[in-house]
Structure 1
């Protein structure tokens, strides 16, 4: 599986990969997206060239086509930013971002509130793997409990 991070959220992505490996024996390749906008532009350019007879593959497609069936992307920006490359990501693609109104608190609390912290990345990854049939119900329940999330928490963008 792939974990894709951008900017200041990258340490959370790296920490999530470590938690997935140490607690649930799930290995993840960590990728750094320096610019989702540039990746999208390059992908759109490749699409256009291919319509005109080319036979190229977008960089993000080739890079993430490493046998992983799941890619989870996180950013400190709104979720629309990692969504820019959805068309070029092979397999299941899950995006996390800070959709909603600004808050003044610690970065840690903000990331937890907006569900872009390491626990949220672990949970999103486990859920995507579970949906792909790669993680059983027992482990999924353990991950949910370990991450301390409930389904009664309001969506961050509605609060």
Structure 2
């Protein structure tokens, strides 16, 4: 038997350690999360992406009573960016979540489908995306590329 060790490097920062671009991106994600349509889970997620051209786009989760039909904020956002700004690489993605009726932010991490969508976006543009994740304690996780969250990525149908 052979053991394989997988290591991921994720930075945890205090909010004041973020640069103004990172702070602004998280703020945009927080603002859009308030517009989530989440009547079934009551879990509002917001995401904002910074494109290479300086454009910032945002989205929130949109649920459906038929659960598989609902879409996560990250996938809506990356799909929109790819369709409407196909020549501008996504460079940074901020993700936040909050339970309806609560003042504090909840810890969140991209689901498996969103991780794969982020992976596909990185493959498409041949560049890792820096991911910012707001934690319940107010700190922010900074992840440099999806490999840290998805170490055994599904990249190629031919391999």
- TM-score, length basis structure 2: 0.32
Give the number of the structure whose residues are more often strand, by fraction. 2
Give the number of the structure whose residues are more often helix, by fraction. 1
